[in-house]
């Protein structure tokens, strides 16, 4: 907390910063005790214009909330809760190394709703080790039975330096076959559609008006601050990544308030590429007029060949002035995005 306070104080000066959204996550910030959590909320309230913030989210795990914490969050203006549920199966939760059980999800959602929180999102993971399609469908149906306004659902990623990665290398991690993963994704989309929960991004679903404004900041390729161990920020002309793990972050943040590990300069080439990669994650896709207004040239003048090829493959479509992924395109997103990588010479042709 002291290191984070020093980092924010070093970078944010003067009157309270106006921000559209605030997201406390990363980690599990609700693991803080009451004194620490109050200190964090006071710091944010002191530095940012919380009163005029449209969306103020905190991440947490089921079982980490008690009534005092919930009321504290409410009193400081937090208006959205994102819960890391992952799966509605106690055995799978244990294999994932999660500390909560399914009953904790019920208790936590009930506690939040009784204390005035209606904007609640839950995260789910599918394609878990040994998970069957039927098991995923059961877990998904239990999730939507809560009738919440937002759901984020991701296929399991095997990250380096994790227990799962070590098991995977030793051949002891048995993920479902790719065909089953695709089937799970199709069930996910149809189940959400059947419950009037709209897909607005590859992995995100919401009732009308409850799309995550904070995450849309990322997908709209807009700017944001990033503070804390391992945090990423995007300010005009550069992306930054902070030091991790926590002890190294603490040492640097306490010494000079600038615990930056990496700075990536973002020129026109990178901005255009990211506009395409990130924007196509949204179901609404890339608005052609917005692209022209932002960059001074059209999508077609730069990417005409790639767009034509992807449309012929059935992965991309044009709808009401937008380029967006088709249902098949959603399954091959990374291959689609690769088509929008640029060489510096490409930009000379349109400038």
Residue-wise pLDDT for 184-195, tens only, equals: 999 999 999 999
Q: Which pLDDT belongs to residue 270?
A: 94
Q: How many CB atoms lie within 10 A of CB 22?
A: 23
Q: How many CB atoms lie within 10 A of CB 14?
A: 6
| Domain 268-343: assigned CATH number | 1.10.10.920
Res. 160: pLDDT tops 90: no
| Domain 20-210: assigned CATH number | 3.20.20.70
Residue 189 exposure: Cα atoms within 13 Å on the Cβ side? 16
Say if residue 350 is preceded by a cis peptide, omega within 30 of 0: no
Question: Do 268-343 and 20-210 fall under one CATH topology?
Answer: no
Q: Which pLDDT belongs to residue 69?
A: 96
**How does residue 28 score in pLDDT terms, banded at 50, 70 and 90?**
confident
Residue-wise pLDDT for 57-114, tens only, equals: 999 999 999 999 999 999 999 999 999 999 999 999 998 888 999 999 999 999 999 9
Q: How many CB atoms lie within 10 A of CB 341?
A: 12
CA proximity to 12, closest of 258, 261, 266: 258
Res. 162: pLDDT tops 80: no
Query: Where do the domains of the chain lie?
Result: 20-210, 268-343
């Amino acid at each position: 907390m002291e290191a984070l306070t020093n980092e924010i104080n070093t970078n944010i000066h003067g009157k309270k910063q106006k921000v559209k959204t605030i997201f406390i996550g990363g980690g599990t910030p609700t693991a803080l005790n009451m004194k620490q959590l109050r200190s964090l909320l006071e710091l944010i309230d002191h530095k940012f214009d919380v009163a005029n913030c449209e969306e103020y989210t905190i991440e947490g795990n089921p079982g980490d909330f008690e009534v005092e914490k919930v009321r504290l969050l409410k009193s400081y203006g937090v208006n959205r809760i994102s819960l890391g549920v992952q799966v509605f199966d106690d055995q799978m939760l244990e294999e994932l190394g999660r500390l909560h059980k399914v009953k904790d999800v019920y208790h936590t959602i009930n506690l939040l709703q009784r204390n005035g929180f209606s904007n609640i999102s839950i995260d789910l993971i599918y394609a878990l080790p040994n998970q069957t399609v039927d098991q995923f469908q059961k877990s998904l149906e239990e999730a939507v039975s809560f009738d919440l306004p937002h759901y984020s659902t991701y296929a399991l990623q095997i990250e380096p330096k994790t227990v799962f990665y070590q098991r995977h290398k030793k051949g002891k991690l048995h993920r479902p076959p790719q065909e089953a993963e695709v089937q799970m994704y199709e069930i996910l989309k149809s189940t959400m559609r059947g419950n009037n929960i709209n897909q607005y991004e590859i992995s995100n679903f919401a009732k009308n008006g409850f799309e995550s404004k904070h995450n849309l900041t990322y997908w709209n390729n807009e700017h944001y601050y990033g503070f804390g161990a391992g945090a990423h920020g995007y300010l005009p002309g550069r992306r930054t990544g902070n030091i991790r793990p926590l002890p190294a972050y603490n040492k640097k943040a306490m010494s000079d308030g600038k615990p930056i590990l990496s700075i990536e300069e973002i020129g026109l080439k990178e901005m255009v590429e990211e506009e395409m990669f990130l924007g196509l994650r949204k179901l609404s896709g890339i608005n052609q007029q917005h692209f022209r207004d932002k960059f001074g040239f059209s999508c077609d003048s730069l990417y005409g060949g790639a767009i034509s090829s992807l449309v012929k493959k059935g992965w991309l479509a044009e709808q009401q002035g937008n380029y967006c992924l088709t249902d098949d395109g959603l399954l091959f997103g990374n291959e689609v995005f690769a088509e929008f990588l640029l060489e510096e010479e490409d930009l000379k042709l349109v400038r």
